[in-house]
Chain A
């Protein structure tokens, strides 16, 4: 597998990190979420890359 071209993969990793970072930033700021607050932390961190998206779509309280 020495053929992975990092210049292809790296931008995507960075974008995913931004997404996770943003979700975490928002998670730390808010006091209340839909559903258990700590559950969302695990969803953001573990389900990749859909955890942060799910958090923004249904986890945030409006």
Chain B
């Protein structure tokens, strides 16, 4: 336990030193705020820049607060995931290549400790950033578009966390698979894209695929009830995350022993 805390603290310190604790939350805040503000100002900008004949009436859809927070979620799913993957691509791979990992693992630090401490430190950073971003998105949505209850916010936040943790876990696993950080990012993206394609094709059967989290979250905040599929998907995501972490420990052990 003491050892685990030591590795965890070292990771956190590292994340402070390279400013990740400042810029990652800031990026998520910007991503979360982008959609509420641009959708609020869009009609006004169109009006001001003109270009439309007098008779043309502008029929912009009336956005509900639920639509806006979902737009922010899709920002997190695109640019947010991109940034998480690029940020974690060297997490273990770089240390393995430069030999720091061996230095750490020569001391009696267990592979399990090393992996879980790194995963926890990264997940903490990602979750805090997501919280900052979603809070700001929620705040601006409430000011500009109407009320979205705290309960709805909690549902979006809680269930979407599973998706980002899943991404972190995939990236972590790829880190133990190859040493080149570019290859890590590539493999992680390919996994996410492939799983989303497979989920789309076999959507009838893959009811609990983590790729469908956003879809179910939208249903939840629109209808006000949590569908059973969402709970199943969250459970399935947790299982997959656990498998990926166990797989990482296993891969690292076999790779380093060889």
Contact = CB atoms under 8 A, between A and B. Distances in A.
Interface of A: 1, 3-4, 8-9, 12, 15-16, 18-19, 22-23, 26, 49, 52-53, 56-58, 60, 62
B23 interface: yes
B26 interface: yes
A17 to B, nearest CB: 10
Contact of A53 (B29, B44, B83): B83
A58 B20 CA distance: 13
Contacts of A22: 19, 22-23
B143 interface: yes
Contacts of A26: 19
Contacts of B26: 15, 18-19
B143 A53 contact: no
Given A1-B48, A12-B30, A56 B90 contact: no
Contacts of A19: 23, 26-27, 30
Q: How large is the interface on B (under 10, 10 to 19, 20 to 34, 35 or more residues)?
A: 20 to 34
Contacts of A58: 86
Contacts of A56: 18-20, 23
Contacts of B18: 56, 60, 62
Contacts of A62: 18, 90, 94
B37 interface: yes
B135 interface: no
Given A19-B26, A26-B19, A62-B90, A1 B44 contact: yes
Nearest to A9: B37
Nearest to A53: B27
Contacts of B29: 15
A4 B144 CA distance: 13
Nearest to B40: A8
Interface in B6-32: 18-20, 22-23, 26-27, 29-30
Give me the 10 closest cross-chain CB pairs, A-B, nearest first.
A1-B48, A57-B86, A19-B26, A56-B23, A15-B26, A3-B44, A53-B27, A22-B19, A12-B33, A49-B30
Contacts of B33: 12
A57 B44 contact: no
A56 to B, nearest CB: 5
Given A53-B23, A53-B27, A62-B18, 19 more contacts: A1-B44, A1-B48, A3-B44, A8-B37, A8-B140, A8-B143, A12-B33, A12-B37, A16-B30, A18-B26, A19-B23, A19-B26, A19-B27, A19-B30, A52-B23, A53-B83, A56-B19, A57-B87, A58-B86
